[in-house]
Amino acid sequence: MSIATLETDILILGSGGAGLFAALHAHQTNPELHITIAVKGLLGKCGCTRMVQGGYNVALAEGDSVERHFMDTIEGGKWLSDQELAWTLVSKAVERIRELENELGCFFDRNPDGTVHQKAFAGQTFDRTVHKGDLTGIEIINRLAEQVWSRGINRLEEHRAIELIHSKDGKSLAGVLMLNMQTGQFTLVRAKAVLLATGGGPTMYKYHTPSGDKSCDGLAMALRAGLTLRDMEMVQFHPTGLLAGPGTRMTGTVIEEGLRGAGGYLLNGNQERFMGNYDPRNERATRDIVSRSINSEIRAGRATPNGGVYIQMSHLGPENVRKQFKGMVERCADSGFDLTNDLVEVVPTAHYMMGGLVFKKDCSTDLPGLFAAGEDTGGVHGANRLGGNGVANSTVYGGIAGEEMAHWVSSQALQECNMAEVLSSIKAHEAPLEKPAGDIEIIRDALAECMWDDVGISRTKESLLRARVKLDQLGQQLDQMGVGDIARQYSITWQDWMNLQNLILVSKSVTESAISRENSRGSHYSADFPEPGSMEDSYFTAINLHGQSLSIENRPVQFSLVKPGETILVET
């Protein structure tokens, strides 16, 4: 079989904040390099960075400090973060926001005195979230995309990465097997360095926020390539997804955290404010606590007509709300709700995966030639990500990855690809085209229900074991079900089949990691093990795929900069 082959120095998978920053920094480091961005959608138009509303956490203002941002991140992550990674995040964020503003031309909101405006986000001891209204991601991605377009960086748009391909000797990564979604043909891209920046994204849950192009492809490919994922049980639920009723895709989309930061109230179905019963910080508690509290109200029978709770903003003044949260007011209005004057129904929605590929602070991984950045990686946020630390993570580490890859490739040659891996992956991905068409929507719905009910905000040993069995069944059902002999060009059904295959594998890794954790930390809550356990003996889960089975290990957290109960803040 002849397969189209391309060669490049650096191949970047994904064009979110991580992918685009990596391309720019690699180009800045060495403009002579041949750099290619391959992306499932269109560059600048896909991924979650574009969807960022609230903003970007960075310690800029007087009275704040990198140390304070670090301690908030570690405490928010319930002491499970890799501290070197967290420190790199908070310290480099200062440089990156200046770069975004002064080099790339992002226009962030300002105070009357000309300083950058920073708003409150939950779980932070200082108001440090930089933003452009509540549509910050569009500003960041538009400016980044303009720069990438103007620099002659190669683009493979509507190209889906389907397999990481090892070198012939198995010791390093030699390239990536891609599917051209426009033609349905496979292309093998050989590269000296590859960046995994496909952005995680828990779209296997009934209610979810990430963009539809995200189906955990990078995580699934990493598992199949023999790499270790960590913290996979840590799935963050955003407390306030819009509950617009059935039959609209607006349900699940985020009503941003700044609303609660600014003083918004949550009310249950009886219109009682309830957060004070769960946490002294009320609505400004961290996302895990607010999501669990809402879940408890719903399960106690105090839900709204559509099964959620209400957010109330009217007490802050309609004009003020309209001015501060223009995008949110419009989003609600699009679905027939008046955020400025009325109650709006919301429900927790799966938002972010703290877990991901094990990587180092220079973005290298255990597989030479493979680098990783952004939401595909694990360890930065521990058990819970602070709102505003996500886009900081992708842009900080994307930039680092670009520089590191540019240096790395200067001493590397292209490797021969293991063609047995290529052929076997093509065979596996073409298999559904050779089987009669079934209704894969049934499998998608069953997956969404299973993950929501049994591996959701509150878990039990029993629910997780039930999910284990269900996910095995769904995997087998999908293997047996085809999509029929359909045209390969722009085949949404075939793409959906591949999305589901990856989502089921990654859902299994979330479930197995959750089974392995015998305490409750951050976003993982088990009713059987409600206590957080000893902080000093904190461990993180590490999962691998061997053949068809997943193996899991609990590894101790290294407190390299600060120990539980201590702080690096100096009292003044």
Ligand X SMILES: Cc1cc2nc3c(=O)[nH]c(=O)nc-3n(C[C@H](O)[C@H](O)[C@H](O)COP(=O)(O)OP(=O)(O)OC[C@H]3O[C@@H](n4cnc5c(N)ncnc54)[C@H](O)[C@@H]3O)c2cc1C
Nearer to ligand X, 194 or 391 (CB): 391
- The distance of closest approach from Cβ of residue 564 to ligand X in the complex, given in angstroms and rounded to an integer, is 25
Q: Of 89-97, 208-216, 473-481, 526-534, which part binds ligand X (CB under 6 A)?
A: 208-216
Nearer to ligand X, 357 or 391 (CB): 391
Q: Among 231, 375, 404, 512, which residue sits at the site for ligand X (rule: CB under 6 A)?
A: 375
- Distance between start and end Cα atoms, the chain: 70
**Is residue 374 near ligand X by the rule CB under 6 A?**
yes
**Is residue 209 near ligand X by the rule CB under 6 A?**
yes
Residue 318 gets the label, from left (phi > 0), alpha (psi -120 to 50) or beta, of: alpha
CB atoms within 10 A of CB 67: 18
Number of residues lying near ligand X (CB under 6 A): 41
- The distance of closest approach from Cβ of residue 179 to ligand X in the complex, given in angstroms and rounded to an integer, is 9
Amino acid residing at 485: D
Q: Among 202, 210, 382, 432, which residue sits at the site for ligand X (rule: CB under 6 A)?
A: 210
Residue 304 CA neighbour count, 13 Å, CB half: 20
Nearer to ligand X, 161 or 285 (CB): 161
Q: Catalytic one among 159, 238, 444, 521? A: 238
**Is residue 197 near ligand X by the rule CB under 6 A?**
yes
Nearer to ligand X, 51 or 122 (CB): 51
Whether 540 and 555 have beta carbons less than 8 Å apart is answered as yes
Whether 482 and 494 have beta carbons less than 8 Å apart is answered as no
Q: Take residue 5 and report the two structure tokens written for it.
A: 């082959």
Residues 415-474 that bind ligand X (CB under 6 A): none
Looking up tokens 């590894």, which residue turns up?
555
**Is residue 297 near ligand X by the rule CB under 6 A?**
no
**Is residue 16 near ligand X by the rule CB under 6 A?**
yes
Q: Of 372, 371, 391, nearest to 381 (Cα)?
A: 391
Q: Of 87-95, 384-392, 439-447, 553-561, which part binds ligand X (CB under 6 A)?
A: 384-392
- The distance of closest approach from Cβ of residue 426 to ligand X in the complex, given in angstroms and rounded to an integer, is 15
Residue 496 burial by CB count (10 A; 0-12/13-18/19+): exposed, middle or buried?
middle
- The distance of closest approach from Cβ of residue 469 to ligand X in the complex, given in angstroms and rounded to an integer, is 28
Q: Of 514, 568, 521, nearest to 286 (Cα)?
A: 521
**Is residue 389 near ligand X by the rule CB under 6 A?**
yes
Whether 185 and 156 have beta carbons less than 8 Å apart is answered as no
- The distance of closest approach from Cβ of residue 464 to ligand X in the complex, given in angstroms and rounded to an integer, is 25
Q: Which strands make up the sheet holding 309-312, listed edge to edge?
A: 235-242, 344-353, 309-312, 265-267
CA–CA distances in Å: residue 356 to residues 202, 223, 365, 376, 379:
11, 10, 12, 5, 8
Looking up tokens 């949260």, which residue turns up?
325
Element (H, E) at 542: strand 539-546
Q: Which residues contact 107 (CB under 8 A, 6 or more apart)?
A: 101, 132, 139
Nearer to ligand X, 377 or 538 (CB): 377
Q: How far is CA 375 from its chain centroid?
A: 4
Site string for ligand X, 36-55 (x = CB under 6 A): --xxxx----xxxx-xxxxx
Active site residue 238: yes
Residues 325-364 that bind ligand X (CB under 6 A): 352
Nearer to ligand X, 48 or 232 (CB): 48
Residues 215-254 that bind ligand X (CB under 6 A): 217, 254
**Is residue 291 near ligand X by the rule CB under 6 A?**
no
Q: Among 96, 214, 284, 524, which residue sits at the site for ligand X (rule: CB under 6 A)?
A: 214
**Is residue 388 near ligand X by the rule CB under 6 A?**
yes
Name the residue whose CB lies closest to ligand X: 16
Q: Catalytic one among 260, 284, 287, 444? A: 260
Looking up tokens 């959906």, which residue turns up?
496
**Is residue 123 near ligand X by the rule CB under 6 A?**
no
- The distance of closest approach from Cβ of residue 165 to ligand X in the complex, given in angstroms and rounded to an integer, is 14
- The distance of closest approach from Cβ of residue 124 to ligand X in the complex, given in angstroms and rounded to an integer, is 12
- For residue 377, list its beta bridge partners: 357
**Is residue 15 near ligand X by the rule CB under 6 A?**
yes
Q: Of 76, 87, 1, 74, nearest to 397 (Cα)?
A: 87
**Is residue 77 near ligand X by the rule CB under 6 A?**
no
Q: Among 308, 390, 432, 482, which residue sits at the site for ligand X (rule: CB under 6 A)?
A: 390
Note the residue count of the chain: 572
**Is residue 475 near ligand X by the rule CB under 6 A?**
no
Active site residue 190: no
Sign of CA dihedral 47, 459, 254, 60: negative
Question: Buried (b) or exposed (e) across 526-552, using 16+ Cβ within 10 A?
Answer: beebeeeeeeeebbbbbbbbeeeebeb
The SS3 call for residue 312 is strand
**Is residue 378 near ligand X by the rule CB under 6 A?**
no
**Is residue 76 near ligand X by the rule CB under 6 A?**
no
Whether 308 and 294 have beta carbons less than 8 Å apart is answered as yes
Q: Among 180, 394, 499, 513, which residue sits at the site for ligand X (rule: CB under 6 A)?
A: 394
Nearer to ligand X, 269 or 348 (CB): 348
List residues with catalytic annotation: 238, 260
Interface ranges with ligand X (CB under 6 A): 13-19, 38-41, 46-49, 51-55, 160-161, 197-199, 209-210, 213-214, 217, 254, 352, 374-375, 387-392, 394
